[in-house]
Structure 1
Amino acid sequence: MVEMIRTHSAIVLRPTPFEEGGLVVSFLTEHGERLVGLARGAKKPTAKWVSSFEPLGLVKVGFFGREQAEIKRVTRCELQHSPMTLGHLESSLVVACLADVFDRVAREGVEDDRLFRLLSACARCLKEDPSRSLAVLAYAEHWMLHLMGLLPHPRLCGRCGGGEAPLVLFTQDHGWCCAACTPVDPREALPPGTREHLKLLRTLPAAQAPDPGGSEAARAVTRILRDRLRRELGGLKSYEVLEKLVVPC
């Protein structure tokens, strides 16, 4: 089988140390496909690309190898944009969470450019305003569930199809359920404003993502969506670190 060179615009996801100062790096290409490459000597101080493999960095990367090879050789990697902000712990933790999630969802041989557009927008927002990193994370979680087909539209109740009554419950079987058809203890019901917060998540761009801790409804929605995503993907160590070091919404 013929070996070939492929060049992509891509976002760095997970760099993993390899023998002799190398790295095995997963990338999300501009087409939304996950590719993995071996960068030999990338961790050596003299390496020309020593700073090119930061998570969520936008790079121009070249791969050499057979088309069907699981791991190709990285021949070049030029950093074009990085969301990392020195000294901002919260933003760095969110970068790790986003890289972890997208590394789990993206697939080799499967293209979905919506993944690239979403992650690229989030990375740029983190760079422009790292103080809003938790809002960016909640925004990404909402849209990731949507792209995975796991988040019903909140416009209509999943049980009765109504669109006027307040939402009071989220279930695995029916999605968002409203007060008109779903009896629920008021102490356990979703807070007022839940539907409105979900509308903001769906209609605003990443740069204007609503504050996940700005209201009781926002906090409830953030918890529900984050729990759903973590159950679906499982084993997200980056989220465990985030919970230990950052006050939850």
Structure 2
Amino acid sequence: MIPVTEKRKANVQAIKDIVRMNQVWEQEKGEQEAAELHYYHIVDALHRKWQTIGVNVSDAIEVFERGYNDAWTRIIEPAPWNPNLTTNDLIHLLKISPEAVQIRHAMQIILNTVERRNAFIRRIINVNEQAIQRLLYLMKDEYLRYEQLSNEAFMAMYVMNPVEALSVYFLESVDVHMYWEWCDAGGTGEQAIQYKHEDPHMTLIQAIERVEEEMYAGT
């Protein structure tokens, strides 16, 4: 089998355990034992159980690293629910490098509840940087459309900590400088609610521009 290089791996998920199971096909008389193809069960770092195939452990790992395949490599037991799963836990389990700052920040902002973090583990299949980014932004889109923070919860948070409130509401990184820019433009919590109802995908920068346009139009 052709070796799988790091760049070609569809699945870079760490393996915690691997066990050889039954033969895939009955061995024909006269075939060498080394050529036997077996099923292998793999438990990955997310505690999901996979089934794959190989003639030996190394071969099975290579097949696993090529990623999900409905015929040979698939998840047979999902990860158990983890009520204590933190963002840092998830970053560690997924082996996200310190250099992947954008992914780390996105995970902290988008997966901001234990329910969302567990949902991410349930939905991710192959673990690699591209797959992680793709799923993160798919889930962000869904949350903005269908699970927006309620008006009441947002306003209560806005009174206590407006920077955090805007970050959670827009699901993007917001610092104090961006908040000041929002305030200087005349932005309020009520306007944020109005804009997000009109366009759930509006970014805070776009909202600031909208406030400025309305202010200039009124002068």
Q: Normalising to structure 1: TM-score of the pair?
A: 0.28
Structure having the higher strand fraction is 1
Structure having the higher helix fraction is 2
Q: Normalising to structure 2: TM-score of the pair?
A: 0.31
